[in-house]
Structure 1
Amino acid sequence: MTTRRKFIAGAGAAGAATLAAPAVHGQSPIRWRLQTYAGPALAEHVIKPAIDSFNKIAAGQMEIELYYADQLVPTGELFRAMQTGTIDAVQSDDDSMASPTEVTVFGGYFPFASRYSLDVPVLFNQYGLAEIWDAEYSKVGIKHISAGAWDPCHFATKDPINSLKDLEGKRVFTFPTAGRFLAQFGVVPVTLPWEDIEVAVQTGELDGIAWSGITEDYTVGWADVTDWFLTNNISGAWCGSFFANMDRWNELPANLQELLKVTFDSSHYYRQWWYWGGEAALRVNGTKMKLTTIPDEEWAVVEGKAREFWDEIAAESEVKAKVVQILKDYNAAMEKAGRPYRYT
């Protein structure tokens, strides 16, 4: 494994020379470093198949080196490292990588912005979020390649959660914006490196996790250290994206830019069915976690507070207000459309 120290030492030497012109016959391939937010076990599903496919189809013209969570730089420094060209591309949500844009707060799990994973690509491709993200990231030298959906956000805990009161005082690993929202219910948000989470639950540093659905809990080992899974969620799908340093992106020939888009879209598609099937199968057939549910009438309080939270965010800037209005318009349309788009 390339250590962070070796990577930093060699970064200057590699520099632009390694990533300059498109590959031609007899010339070394273009090489990119892409770091994902995901650890190795999760990355096997959420990114590695797409990278393997890209490298195979690129056939020596370009090669992407894949690095996992915190392997080269901490997740919270991903944006800065990509912006400066230390790494070339990133798979993450806006919130986790601390991007300095007006849309950062909507990455990851913006409370109740989505109910199902298909909501995310529809919002980006049909309701205008893609254009907003493109404009915001272009301002800071980053190419926003595409956004897609991951799993819903549920609590996985050591003790059962049967009511909102049970959340009080729970130290939970979660996303920045999700933590900001959940704090009003007594949750204590905790930020730790991704790979430290399992041990932190075992040692009692954490009481639980609100970072994923049940598929990830099983895949990455969290189901081995948490006994309970809350079926209520604060968002139906994580919103994450692929990003690249704008200069590195512009240096690529058109065929490689298109190949990146297509293989990243295949990654989005893979996650659609992998998570959707896994969430149901593991609730029904999983043996490691017991399910609890907060009653609908009590959970409605959380949903109501989410709409208040939306308005607080909208008041912060014109861009945020525009995104919030899109979310409101979209969800109103889904509710009016009824089944299967929304169930009441």
Structure 2
Amino acid sequence: MKIKPIFLSIILLSFVVLLAACGKSSSESSGGDEVYEFDFNIQPPAVHNYAKTVKNWAEYVEKETDGRIKINIYPSAALGPYESVYEDIAGGVYDIGYANPSVQDDTMLFPLSIGELPFSLSDPFDKRKIIEKFNQRFLSDKYDDNVTFLSFTGSDPYHIVSKTPIKSLTDLKGKKINGIGDEKVQLVNLWGGSPVSLSQADLYEALERGTVDSVIYPAIGSIGFSFYEVAPYLTRVSIDSQSWVNLINTESLNRLPADLKKRFLEEFGPLLADMPAEMYVTEQENALKKFESKDGQIIELEESELEKFRAPAKEVWENWVNKANSKGYPGDEMMNYYLELLEAEGIESPYK
């Protein structure tokens, strides 16, 4: 049977329309505006408070841009480990992430590790205010061309989370203790402990099996990773707060039209620091209570005992200056400026 030309034309036209519909890019919205998708790699699991906060941030960004920006969040370090965040963002492995300067002190982020010197900055808002000023003075023009700084933030304070009660510095002698970054490793050594370096993903199992006896970790993070199930004792020492730099791949950022790029740098990037900081301030007491709900204990130390934990920190600060100088940075100038920033905020330091 022959198909009449008019019917053939209708069939072909319908086929073309169908192809056009199927081939419509997923990066276009119903209004015809392009949708810009970004992959955001985070370390904690989806149940962690930080992951929930980042999800709220992503939803806010999508709503405020009428769906023109979509953030795809990958929890549990699905796209890459904490130890290679800076390189992964620079290389375009994913678009957005956060790097700990102390963990990645072999990159240009090293100067910002000053924010993890023990017993100075344990409040995330203080940390952001001071370190962003420090960043502006010493690093603003030093970032890799493939990486753009968004904001700096911190967590609730680091404490000692342990399988057995830690009620004095003596209780840490010989204990296997995990600490993130060089500054924590030094501190553990000075306390008489035995430092162990493990990734976040391995800490629960290490505590469960006794590969480590204690971890230096924030309360909220400890709840997020369920450390309290296998290490139910938390000794409050407020060493400092976990630091991270929120970064975005520059090429990915530059895909945005001028209006969205401006909002990302001036509004959404800073908000990625503000929202977690607010969560860490408001939720830390609830996190501490979680330890007690699992037959654990929150251990409060007398000031005289706390001072024994703090005293060795001065050596860590001095070592940081020497390390900065050895890397070719103006270590003494950096430290003097940092101390000025602390003093301006009424924060004391053990480094005199």
Return the TM-score normalized by structure 2. 0.78
Q: Indicate the larger mover: 46-55 or 21-30.
A: 21-30
Assess, with a 3 A threshold, how the Cα gap between structure 1 residues 113 and 256 changes in structure 2: closer, same or farther.
farther
Question: Which residue of 81, 89, 92 maps to 1:82?
Answer: 89
Assess, with a 3 A threshold, how the Cα gap between structure 1 residues 29 and 281 changes in structure 2: closer, same or farther.
closer
Q: Secondary structure at the match of 1:72?
A: coil
Which residue identity lines up with residue 151 of structure 2 in the other structure? S
Listed one character per residue, the Cα deviations across residues 195-218 of structure 1 (whole Å, up to 9, x for unaligned) are 332222111112122121x22322
Q: Which residue of 2 aligns with 1:194?
A: 200
Query: How far did 1:102 drift?
Result: 5.3
| 1:242 equivalenced with 2:253 (yes/no) | no
Which residue identity lines up with residue 89 of structure 1 in the other structure? I
Q: Which residue of 2 aligns with 1:155?
A: 160
Q: Which residue of 1 aligns with 2:40?
A: 34
| 1:322 equivalenced with 2:333 (yes/no) | yes
RMSD after superposition: 2.9
Question: Aligned equivalents of 1:78 and 1:102: distance in 2?
Answer: 11
Question: Aligned equivalents of 2:123 and 2:101: distance in 1?
Answer: 19
Assess, with a 3 A threshold, how the Cα gap between structure 1 residues 253 and 272 changes in structure 2: closer, same or farther.
same
Q: Which residue of 1 aligns with 2:66?
A: 59
Residues 122 and 156, structure 2, Cα contact 8 Å, conserved in 1: no
Listed one character per residue, the Cα deviations across residues 209-260 of structure 1 (whole Å, up to 9, x for unaligned) are 2121x2232233111211211011211x222221012232233223222333
Question: Aligned equivalents of 1:205 and 1:149: distance in 2?
Answer: 28
| 1:141 equivalenced with 2:152 (yes/no) | no
Counterparts of 1:7-46 in structure 2 under 5 Å?
Answer: 26=32, 28-42=34-48, 43-46=50-53
Question: Which residue of 55, 62, 68 maps to 1:48?
Answer: 55
Which residue identity lines up with residue 86 of structure 1 in the other structure? V
Q: Which residue of 2 aligns with 1:215?
A: 220
Residues 179 and 187, structure 1, Cα contact 8 Å, conserved in 2: no
Query: How far did 1:146 drift?
Result: 0.6
Listed one character per residue, the Cα deviations across residues 113-152 of structure 1 (whole Å, up to 9, x for unaligned) are 3142321122135x44334342332x46321111122111
Query: How far did 1:45 drift?
Result: 3.4
Question: Which residue of 311, 319, 323 maps to 2:318?
Answer: 311
| 1:270 equivalenced with 2:270 (yes/no) | no
Question: Aligned equivalents of 1:107 and 1:62: distance in 2?
Answer: 34
Gap runs ≥5 in structure 1: 1-20, 339-344
Q: Indicate the larger mover: 87-96 or 278-287.
A: 278-287
Assess, with a 3 A threshold, how the Cα gap between structure 1 residues 329 and 98 changes in structure 2: closer, same or farther.
closer
Q: What percentage of aligned pairs have identical amino acids?
A: 16
Question: Aligned equivalents of 1:310 and 1:117: distance in 2?
Answer: 20
Aligned length: 313
Question: Aligned equivalents of 1:282 and 1:63: distance in 2?
Answer: 31
Residues 169 and 308, structure 2, Cα contact 8 Å, conserved in 1: no
Which residue identity lines up with residue 215 of structure 1 in the other structure? I
Query: How far did 1:324 drift?
Result: 2.1
Question: Aligned equivalents of 2:115 and 2:345: distance in 1?
Answer: 21
Question: Aligned equivalents of 2:217 and 2:82: distance in 1?
Answer: 14
Q: Secondary structure at the match of 2:148?
A: strand
Q: Secondary structure at the match of 1:169?
A: coil
Return the TM-score normalized by structure 1. 0.79
